[in-house]
Structure 1
Amino acid sequence: MQETSVTKRFNELFDKLEHCDEDEQRQKIEEMNEMINEMDEEEFEYVFTTELFNKIHEMIEDKKISLENAILLLKYIGYYKVLKGIRINGFNESSLEEKFKEIIYDENEKKDEDKNEIIFVDICECYFMLNNQFSSDMYPICAPCLLNVASSKEKKEEAQKKVEVALLALSNSSTVNV
């Protein structure tokens, strides 16, 4: 596939991320998320490859992007993937998937007072939405976490959005490798 204008603009913004401060990164990520909405399935698959996910992992490790900012982008990629029913294999084959598993295991082992609940939920949501096949050891950790979020009785719009994302992530978890 020849690179289209939306994929080219996305990749150009992505390449600039590591040279920005936190606020500039968030702004660029918001722009990138808007560009994702413009992509068709072929463009989406063209952009979100193993190489891109490995690059995100490398940027996190090298502290060129915060985990929180990476999650902003990854959560939207996963959200769009699940909403549009697109399969991408890039995440499953990336070092980022292994990093997320490590974070999930580490957060799950922590006592409640030491656990970063926001990161734990966000990583579980990303993991479930970006994956095509799940290892059976992740499901018993992430599913209860997401079910807990989904069972929230708060009526605020922000809380309801969290419930929606958690349910969407759970809906993508039907292909568990046992």
Structure 2
Amino acid sequence: MKEFVAGRTEDRNREMAPKEKFSKLFEELKSCSVSEQKEKIEEMNRLIDEMDKEELYSTFTIDMFNKIDQMIEEDKLKMGNAILLLKHMGYRNALLNIKNYGFFFSSLNERFEKMIDDEEKKKEKRNENLLTELCECYLLLSYDLVSEDCASVCVPCLLKAALKKEENEEAQKEVEMALLALSRIDERYV
């Protein structure tokens, strides 16, 4: 609804920009149930697709990644939901070739490196799907600042995931995601 105010019109129902909507939903995540979080994250992922490079760069900050880490630590954000969001963020960064080092300097980076290392050490009871998801997120978000230890785990893990030749569309998307994540690794690690 537009209203005439002091010589100009204002739109009372001004549509929020994708970045503003994303930030609002992000702040609401910590007080939601797991299923509500998933719904909000799906909406956040749609908003990520609407943002341009500048908006993405200014949204994916060290502070945001540290908040995600804190929410995981406090069990206010389940790891599965965090991965759903982080993987899409990394995917979008990779598609647009955004050089954002916010993740690398965050506490979340340390958490992912430790989780990858811990999962790799399990050998017998290793959760291959979790390890693949962690590696994809880590590589997609790290840009080219990948630890040598994580690279030595992630490269074979994602190559293994990429070699799975399944016909269905969802499996094909996972193969594409694994290959895109691998493409983000600096050549000194391969």
Q: TM-score, normalised by structure 1?
A: 0.94
Structure 1: gaps (5+ residues) = none
Higher alpha-carbon Rg: 2
Q: How does 1:19-168 map to 2 (within 5 A)?
A: 19-112=31-124, 114-132=125-143, 133-168=145-180
For residue 131 of structure 1, what is the amino acid of its counterpart?
S
For residue 170 of structure 1, what is the amino acid of its counterpart?
L
Deviations 1:37-87 (A, max 9, x none): 111111101110000000000000000010000000000000000011111
For residue 65 of structure 1, what is the amino acid of its counterpart?
L
Aligned length: 174
Q: TM-score, normalised by structure 2?
A: 0.88
Question: 1:10 pairs with 22, 28, 44, which one?
Answer: 22
For residue 100 of structure 1, what is the amino acid of its counterpart?
F
* Cα distance in structure 1, aligned partners of 2:187 and 2:66: 23
Q: Which runs of 4+ in 1 moved over 3 A?
A: none
For residue 141 of structure 2, what is the amino acid of its counterpart?
L
What is the RMSD computed on CA atoms of the aligned residues? Answer: 1.5
Q: Compared with structure 1, are the counterparts of its residues 175 and 58 closer, same or farther at alpha carbon in structure 2 (3 Å cutoff)? A: farther
Q: Compared with structure 1, are the counterparts of its residues 62 and 175 closer, same or farther at alpha carbon in structure 2 (3 Å cutoff)? A: farther
Deviation at 1:174, TM superposition (A): 2.4
For residue 37 of structure 1, what is the amino acid of its counterpart?
D
What is the percentage of aligned positions where both structures have the same residue? 47
3-state SS in 1 of match to 2:103: coil
Structure 2: gaps (5+ residues) = 1-15
Indicate the structure whose relative CO is greater, using CA pairs within 8 Å and at least 6 residues apart. 1
